[in-house]
Amino acid sequence: MTEAIRAAVFDELAAVGYGRMSIEAVARRAGVGKTAVYRRWPSKLQMVIDVVSDVVGYDVPAPDTGSLRGDVRMILDIAARALRHPLAGQIVPDLLAEAARTPDIARTLERALRDTQRGLGEAIVAAAVTRGEVGPATDAGMALDLALGPLYWHIAVLREPVTKSYLDRLADTVATALAVPRPPRAADEAH
């Protein structure tokens, strides 16, 4: 029962988005009376936050492939797989947009994204540091930005297909960029 409603929330979110989603429609889709919904959650916002929180409470295992490039490639693969999922691919951008005007949603996504993500980045960079692949001052946050940013941009913004080859090249580039020692600040400030 509760499971049917949770699934219906996802389907409805994907179909019409958070803004247009109505509790009536969720109940209809789940095949339950809306009484059943109101018995569980006091509002649309609370319902969505609860349902979404449940799902994003996954724990991505820190990859350990033995090389920075391999680790980055694995993270890219996991992220790409998630974003390619029809439901997630539709819901994530939607909630992201909604987060800009609903602090509770922003907080939920923040916990989901930033916290789990930060740990991942630090683990990967730390491993690469001990391996001697990158310098000890390497910025883990920047590393993840470099990897996930282009991926998200490609999938969610440009909406172009992401091929294995693209992921390979992206992982290559990111690992290389991080491995290169800080350049001697050639051609500084303005042109």
Partner DNA sequence: GGACGACGAAACGGTTGCGTTCCGTCCTGT
Partner DNA sequence: ACAGGACGGAACGCAACCGTTTCGTCGTCC
Chain contacts with DNA (rule: CB under 7 A): 1-2, 22-25, 31-36, 38-39, 43-44
CB of 30 to a second copy, least distance (A): 21
Based on its alpha-carbon atoms, the radius of gyration of the chain, rounded to whole angstroms, reads 20
Q: Cα torsion at 121, 124, 125, 126 (round to 10°)?
A: 120
Query: CA 124 from chain center: how many Å?
Result: 17
Q: Taking CB within 5 to 8 Å according to partner kind, which of DNA, a second copy, none is near residue 149?
A: a second copy
CB of 119: closest distance to DNA in angstroms?
Answer: 37
Contact status: 184 vs a second copy (CB under 8 A): no
Among 59, 130, 136, 159, binds a second copy (CB under 8 A): 159
> Residue 42 or 136: which CB sits closer to DNA?
42
Please state, in angstroms and rounded to a whole number, the distance separating the CA atoms of residues 106 and 55: 16
Q: Any long-range contacts for 58-63 (C-beta under 8 Å, 24+ apart)?
A: 58/116, 59/116, 60/116, 60/120, 62/119, 62/120, 62/123, 62/124, 63/124
53 binds, among DNA, a second copy, none (CB under 5 to 8 A by kind): none
* Token pair listed for 61: 């295992």
User: In one letter, which amino acid is 105?
Assistant: I
Q: Where on the chain is the footprint of a second copy (CB under 8 A)?
A: 15-20, 65-67, 69-70, 89-90, 93-94, 96-101, 106, 110, 113-114, 139, 142, 145-146, 148-154, 156-159, 169-170, 172-174, 176-177, 180, 183, 187, 190-191
